Amino acid sequence: MSLLALVILAVGQVIGTAVGSLLSMTGHERQLRWNVFIGAVLGVGLGVLLIPGYGLIGAAIATSVAVASKNLLCVYQVNQLLGFNTLAIWRKI
């Protein structure tokens, strides 16, 4: 069961890992702060809903969704503010 929880957490981390630091390095700390806040509120809310019924797996799902949503918000904002898509790694520059 703990291996499944680790897999769920890893999937949440893979989505847009370095994008938050890109916002921070380019002077968009406020957007990053709000993304982290939204992710934290989402993680706590999902934790309250999922942990009583699903235990460790519910906690892993809540954390993974929170981290992935924060990173996807960062991907969207990098695209809007800086003009490139960080998920399009297959394109040649």
pLDDT in tens, 28-84: 889 989 999 999 999 999 999 999 999 999 999 999 999 889 988 988 998 899 888
Q: Do 15 and 68 contact (CB within 8 A), yes or no?
A: yes
Q: What is the pLDDT of residue 93?
A: 56
Q: What is the pLDDT of residue 13?
A: 73
Query: Does the global pTM surpass 0.75?
Result: yes
What is d(CA 2, CA 61) in angstroms, rounded to the nearest whole number? 12
Q: What is the pLDDT of residue 43?
A: 95
Two tokens at 55?
A: 């235990």
